[in-house]
Structure 1
């Protein structure tokens, strides 16, 4: 059963996963803050990605580059010349839209991104595309909208001090490629991974945390010889799918793998495959895997004057490495994980419950300690404090035990440990499983092994 998106959003807000940014001041459009549970889940998701793609992969290393880079980086990468969207306004209701998306939402077979502004305007008029808000046909001319956030470095606000918040983390990796390769004496093939903030002044952000102006990316740039006979593209595509299925437990039926048509490819790409997830609001891009050829390093070599080529010691041949980039937005992956985990279940007694079936290692809390009565509080607090040494745990003694179970189900806690009147006698607690709701008596001395191995 498909769950209404508004219902999921409301649940995440009320349970402490995501809050409206600056809410007490009326909010800020498309600004979201992550509450206690959301920040825990988000940090665990990033750690899971880092462990899988960087720490546990012998080919890769990690890096952390600056948000503000020399403006020449963005000239070389093409962002300052090409990183813009076609903006169009409805004259009647003053709503603003991306003209290409206005077309593509109605004509799914049209790749409007390849049309110039005149062609876009003609297509909108000839096909009588109306404003989605007020149904008017009266639009302004299309104009260029720069996606880069500008700011100034230093005390003087003039063109010489103008800098930009990075729109992607990839370029920081490219400009530090040579330093990384030299410092760690890396031989091709090898990859550099990074997690960090990016900023894009989107015209039409929306769908909750799916498209925001401030977001985090998890990117890997994998460098290899163009003469390497290994199919590295398929290798990383398989790795990404394995991560989605086996590390995050996202259902296979909820995403598809789609290769870009030739006319859809970015100017730097030889091949791009998107993994698209079926969100409640419709299918959206989740993860992109792109063969960026040698475009980025060639551009930075050209504009910086630095030699970014690689010398193969065996053949004596110098060349610019090619790059495969698996790139994913943290917030998009988090949203897919939450949508995939959200369930509403009818219980045998006629009641219902909301449950987040998050992977146990990613749940904000792995364990909740619940005294059956307040008389067991002292013993329960001691157990809770002991468990905190090895587990992410929470403590709840407010309300009847059934309601407390429901609260933990709703935030995805895999195990509830109930301390009752018998605990002092037999040194056992009742362990309740989130998904099956089965209960088992476990000796406190065996808890660590039980919770770790189940």
Structure 2
């Protein structure tokens, strides 16, 4: 069964049993926007409640908020979203289809990993109980050749992402002979950046309207309310603020049913810590969140960590918890060490102090943040 056939069956099943419907279907739907039906909304609410109870009710030092979707436009300047919230896109001239360049390369890398695993499995069947997997991986010429090629491309890919080298991303696609899944050709355009934020107007008249954005993440509502929560709740570091809410991203390459949508809900927690302790807390939250996912009962082997090849502008460490979907391992949660970037940026642009007075040390400082999202 091809991936396209699989998704057709999945979409049909979700609709037939009242889980997910295409949005405004009577008007032929709206791309990458879906409605949750009578059973889907119960399932979604159960997941949200399970997350909320485990994050807020089981932690004395974590509280929740519900921030507005609309925020002052300077919020997104300070956060870096106006200048840096982009995807690298590439078009195939023959199929007229648009793709994310980084995803094309990531899929190619995943295929190399699959090739290696197939070779190992064939050898396991051939040698039976005497099979030494570690030795075979070290000595097999075919495995070594595929691994070396994969590692070389992976290094080029990571370097290109970190240098924001769009020409090199395209060159990797050309060198790896990556073809368009629709046309089968390699007639690619140049790679260019596309900002993912939706913009709209707020004001009583068109002339006096201000451009604002639909929030692309819920985290900034937490950061701008940091002092409000800390002071009114008498919170002492370390402490966290959690939120469940809608976010919006203008995904040009929306795909894989409800895995990548333009309107979706996030469950995020920002954990404020003393500078210098963020890596300890980052590792602790990595393990805590992985244990939560595995407790869902979908099989421990279906989850893995995937460290980021390119760190976001706000992070000094980042990893994803990935789940083995029918279309491969994909992210279900990110755990990021965001440093003091967000609070520091909002403090600078707003001119308002966003510092915590630590009674234990007698000093004031901008906290560092560990995020689970």
TM-score range, shorter chain: 0.7 to 0.9
Partner of 1:408: none
Q: Within the alignment, does 1:196 sit opposite 2:242 as a pair?
A: no
Partner of 2:114: none
Name the structure 1 match of 2:125.
none
Inter-partner Cα distance in structure 2 for 1:309 and 1:212? 36
Verify the 8 A CA contact 2:61 2:235 in the aligned structure 1: no
Corresponding position: 1:240 with 2:289: yes
Aligned equivalents of 2:181 and 2:207: distance in 1? 39
Structure 1 CA distance for aligned equivalents of residues 323 and 203 of structure 2: 43
TM-score (norm 2): 0.81
The structure with more radius of gyration: 1
How large is the RMSD of aligned CA atoms in angstroms? 2.2
**Superposed CA offset, 1:181-237 (max 9, x none):** 111111111000000000000121111110001000000000011254993223222
Contact 1:5 1:281 in 2 (8 A): no
Structure 1 equivalent of residue 122 of structure 2: none
Query: CA offsets, 1:88-129, max 9 Å, x none?
Result: 222222111112222332245233533422222333344443
Count matched residues.
Answer: 323
Match of 1:267 in 2: 313
Counterpart secondary structure, 1:185: coil
Instruction: Give TM-score scaled by structure 1 length.
Output: 0.67
2: CA distance between counterparts of 1:117 and 1:245? 37
Name the structure 2 match of 1:15.
17
1:258 maps to which of 292, 306, 309: 306
| Matching residue within 332, 336, 343 for 1:290 | 336
- State whether structure 2 residue 349 is matched by structure 1 residue 303: yes
3-state SS, counterpart of residue 219 of structure 1? strand
Indicate if the aligned counterparts of 1:191 and 1:222 stay in contact, CA closer than 8 A: yes
CA deviations over 1:388-411 (Å, ceiling 9, x no partner): xxxxxxxxxxxxxxxxxxxxxxxx
How big is each residue's C-alpha offset from its partner over 1:382-432, in whole Å with a ceiling of 9 and x where there is no partner? xxxxxxxxxxxxxxxxxxxxxxxxxxxxxxxxxxxxxxxxxxxxxxxxxxx
For the residue of structure 2 that corresponds to 1:231, the secondary structure is: helix
Displacement of 1:158: 5.7
CA distance in 2, matches of 1:219, 1:312: 25
Q: Structure 1 10/160 Cα, relative in aligned 2: closer, same or farther at 3 Å?
A: closer
2-side partners of 1:138 and 1:20: how far apart? Answer: 33
1:311 deviates by 1.1
**Residue matched to 1:213:** 262
Query: Closer, same or farther in 2 for the Cα pair 1:245/1:124, shift >3 Å?
Result: closer
The answer to whether the Cα contact below 8 Å between 2:70 and 2:212 also exists between their aligned partners in 1 is yes
Residues 1:179 and 2:233 aligned together = no
- Equivalence for 2:59: 57
Q: Output one character per residue of 1:40-99: Cα deviation in whole Å (capped at 9) or x when no partner.
A: 111111111111101221110000101111010000000000111122222222111112
Range 154-163 or range 82-91, more displaced: 154-163
Which secondary structure state, in structure 2, belongs to the residue aligned with residue 138 of structure 1?
coil
Q: Equivalent residue of 2:261, what SS?
A: coil
Q: Name the structure 2 match of 1:141.
A: 190
**1:8 Cα deviation after fit:** 3.7
Report the more deviating stretch, 65-74 or 150-159.
150-159
Three-state SS of the structure 2 residue aligned to 1:223 is strand
Provide the residue aligned with 2:214 in structure 1.
165
Instruction: Judge conservation of contact 2:203–2:209 (CA < 8 Å) in 1.
Output: no
- Cα drift, residue 284 of structure 1: 0.3
**Do 1:221 and 1:324's aligned partners in 2 also have CA atoms closer than 8 Å?**
yes
2:33 paired residue number: 31
- Does the 8 Å CA contact 1:151/1:163 hold for their aligned counterparts? yes
Q: How does 1:354-373 map to 2 (within 5 A)?
A: none
Structure-2 change in CA distance of 1:81 and 1:181 (3 Å): same
> What is the CA distance between 1:6 and its match in structure 2?
4.3
Unaligned stretches of 5+ in structure 1? 328-454
Q: Does 1:316 align with 2:318?
A: no
Alignment of 1:414-433 (within 5 A): none
Name the counterpart of 1:95: 97
1:5–1:280 contact (8 Å) kept in structure 2: no
The answer for unaligned runs of 5 or more in structure 2 is: 111-153
- The CA deviation at 1:291 is 0.9
